[in-house]
Amino acid sequence: MEGADRFQMLIPEDRIQARIAEMGRQITQDFQGRDLVVVGVLKGAIFFLTDLVRRIDLPLAMDFLGLSSYGDATESSGVVRITQDLSRPIVDQDVLVVEDIVDTGLTLAFLRENLLARRPRSLRICTLLHKPSNTLREVPLDYVGFTIENRFVVGYGLDYEQRYRNLPYIGYLPLPQAPAG
Ligand code: IMP
Ligand code: MG
C-alpha cells in the first residue's frame, strides 16, 4: 500500500485478534442471559466491532453512530456533534459501546452522557486502544484492548486524514526526535 512502509509496527494482526478473542470471551461471560445492543462509533470502530461481535456468543443487535469532533486532524477539540444517529431507541436495553481509541476522553464523555439520557438498562464501554497520558475527562472504561503510549496511531480502522484505516495492523508514524534541552 502506498505510504504504508512509513509506519512502524506497534501491534501486529495476530496480537490484535488474540486480544479480541479474549475480550469476546469476557463480554460473553459478563452478559450471560442478556440481550445486547452493540453500538459502534463510526468509522474507526467498524473493524474492531465486526471482529469482536464474532467472538461474542450471545444474542445481539448492532447499531451505529457517527460522531465528528471539530478540531485539527490529530487533536480532539471536545466539541462533538452527532453526524449519524442510532436507528432505534435503546431504552431498557443493555448497551455496549465499541470505540477504536480513547485519547482525551472528551468524545466518549459526550457520547456517554448522550446515551445515558436515553435511559438504557445498562451502558458499558469497550475500546480497542487507550492512551491514558492524554486524559482530560475520566470516563469509565469497562473493556480495554491495549493501553498504549502517547503516539498517533493508524491502521485497523484508525485514520490519519481518512487514510490508512485498511492497514491490517496498528502502526505509528515515527516523529523526528525533538532536540534535547
Ligand atoms: P478523544 O476525544 O481525544 O478521546 O479522541 C477520540 C477520537 O480521536 C478517536 O475516536 C479517534 O477518532 C481520534 N484519535 C485519537 N487518537 C488517535 C490516534 O492516535 N490515531 C487516530 N485517531 C485518533
Ligand atoms: Mg473515533
Contact 148, 130 (CB under 8 A): yes
Residue 61 lies in a domain: yes
How many Å lie between the centroid of ligand 1 and the Cα of residue 101? 6
| Mean pLDDT, the chain, integer | 92
Ligand 1 near 106 CB (within 6 A): yes
Tell me, yes or no, if 14 is annotated catalytic: no
- Among all bound ligands, the one having the nearest atom to the CA of 71 is 1
Q: 135 in a domain, yes or no?
A: yes
Q: Which atom of ligand 1 is nearest to the CA of 109?
A: 2
Give the number of whichever ligand sits closest to the CA of residue 109: 1
For ligand 1, is residue 157 a contact (CB within 6 Å)?
no
Q: For residue 75, what pLDDT is reported? A: 60
Q: Which ligand is nearest to the CA of 80?
A: 1
Write the pLDDT tens digit of every residue in 88-103: 999 999 999 999 999 9
Number of domains in the chain: 1
* Residue at 123 is within a domain: yes
Number of other residues whose CB lies within 10 A of the CB of residue 29: 10
User: Residue 49 belongs to what domain range?
Assistant: 11-68+80-170
Residues of the chain with pLDDT under 70: 1-5, 70-78, 175-181
- pLDDT (0 to 100) of residue 50: 98
Residue bearing the CA closest to ligand 1, atom 5 = 103
Q: Would 74 be classed as within a structural domain?
A: no
Cα 68 to ligand 2 centroid, rounded to whole Å: 8
Mutate-to-test residue for ligand 1 from 76, 125, 133, highest number of ligand atoms within 8 A of CB: 76
Asked whether the bond before 131 is cis by omega within 30 degrees of 0, the reply is no
Write down the pLDDT at residue 68: 84
Q: Is 104 in the pocket of ligand 1 (CB under 6 A)?
A: yes
Say yes or no: CB of residue 40 within 6 Å of ligand 1.
Answer: no
The pLDDT of residue 173: 81
- Residue at 73 is within a domain: no
Tally of helices (H runs) and strands (E runs) in the chain: 3, 9
129 CB under 6 A from ligand 1? no
Active-site option among 92, 103, 142, 159:
103
pLDDT of residue 6: 77
b/e per residue 78-98 (b: at least 16 CB within 10 A): bebeeeeebeeebeebbbbbb
Inside any domain, residue 176: no
Is residue 101 domain-resident? yes
Is 31 among the domain residues? yes
Residue 155: phi and psi, rounded to 5, are 100, 165
Q: What is the CATH number of the domain that holds 139?
A: 3.40.50.2020
pLDDT tens digit sequence for 109-137: 999 999 999 999 999 999 999 999 999 99
